Amino acid sequence: MRPVILRRGLVALFAAAVTFGAFTQAQAETLRIGYQKYGTLVLLKAKGTLEKRLAAQGVDVQWTEFPGGPQLLEGLNVGSIDFGVTGETPPVFAQAAGADLLYVAYEPPAPHSEAILVPKDSPIKSVAELKGKKVVLNKGSNVHYLLVRALEDAGLKYTDIQTVFLPPADARAAFERGSVDAWVIWDPYQAAAEQQLQARTLRDGQGIVDNHQFYLATKPYAQKNPEVIKTLVEEVRAVGEWSWANPEDVTQQVSPLLGLSADITRTSVKRQGYGALFLTPEVVAAQQKIADTFYQLKLIPKQLSIKDVIWTPPAAVAQSSITKAQ
């Protein structure tokens, strides 16, 4: 009887191996993208062009919305998504926390699409007057670095203010209640607060931050699927170029997706940067400066090397993408 039992065991083991193989193959054939309530990925999702191109490669696309960059990168870190977009700061915090991520591409600067806001009737007229005040923001988001740089530019230390960390919806509620003195936020929440609450801009990113958007992937996914990443970047770039040339069409398309008025959406659309590219040494150096700043402030526990987490596309992929961008 033992040989029979052994054969049955081998058959069961083989069946389990086949099932597991089919499962992992199914996983590999689904690209899971994280996006936020802004940016080019919202448009890409609406257009459906990525799905059409990747279908030819046998890849399905699954979309998941996140309230902010830190939450999106946590999803990437735990393996619930393969690819996503955030501002400058979230990848720094994620890398410091040990996330296995790679920077894939970036968008041109958009310094006006993030700002420090105060209520319309606030007596505060300058960043210097924030000393001792409560400032609310999403911890580890792109605006975290804006706040640090704005305070520095005004002659203040980061410790001169009281930071309150809340995600955008809760931060707006606190701002409206008057329980905080200022709110550091990005579009479209920024544009919505400006128009709906008549919030006043104390300082935006102009002259102190680039406010790049970064496209990131898990390291295993990017290394195993360079052609999918190439297609992604090409589609993001194409949608970005179309958006830059057709802001009114973008406004009409995105407004209902965001649940915001055309006026608010139009403002956000016009302040955004468009035209995704693979990272340059200059962009890597700028991101390294952000990482160094947060380490010096003891906001992250260790020094980072940004160049170590930059995806380098295979030569054929890079050349193909450069040609398409020209």
Residue 134 has pLDDT above 60, yes or no: yes
The DSSP symbol for 277 reads B
CATH of the domain at 187: 3.40.190.10
24 part of a folded domain: no
Assess contact for 31 and 53: CB atoms under 8 A: no
232-263 pLDDT, tens digit per residue, is 999 999 999 999 999 999 999 889 888 899 99
21 part of a folded domain: no
Clarify whether residues 90 and 220 are in a common domain: yes
203-226 pLDDT, tens digit per residue, is 999 999 999 999 999 999 999 999
Clarify whether residues 93 and 165 are in a common domain: no
Clarify whether residues 222 and 98 are in a common domain: yes
162, 181, 204 - which closes a domain:
204
Assess contact for 294 and 92: CB atoms under 8 A: yes
At 296, which amino acid appears? Answer: Q
1 part of a folded domain: no
Residue 300 has pLDDT above 60, yes or no: yes
Assess contact for 220 and 121: CB atoms under 8 A: no
Clarify whether residues 231 and 286 are in a common domain: yes
Q: Mean pLDDT, the chain, as a whole number?
A: 88
151, 186, 204 - which closes a domain:
204
Clarify whether residues 43 and 189 are in a common domain: no
Clarify whether residues 38 and 185 are in a common domain: no
162, 178, 204 - which closes a domain:
204
311 part of a folded domain: yes
Number of domains observed in the structure of the chain: 2
4 part of a folded domain: no
Domain hosting 41: range is 30-105+214-325
Clarify whether residues 231 and 321 are in a common domain: yes
Per-residue pLDDT averaged across 157-176, rounded? 97
Asked whether the CA dihedral 73, 75, 78, 82 is positive or negative, the reply is negative
Asked whether the CA dihedral 276, 281, 282, 284 is positive or negative, the reply is positive
At 121, which amino acid appears? Answer: D
Clarify whether residues 237 and 199 are in a common domain: no
Clarify whether residues 121 and 157 are in a common domain: yes
Clarify whether residues 183 and 141 are in a common domain: yes
Per-residue pLDDT averaged across 73-97, rounded? 93
Q: How would you label 293-323 residue by residue, b for 16+ Cβ within 10 Å and e otherwise?
A: bbbeeebbeeebebeebbbebeeebeeebee
Q: What is the pTM of this model?
A: 0.82
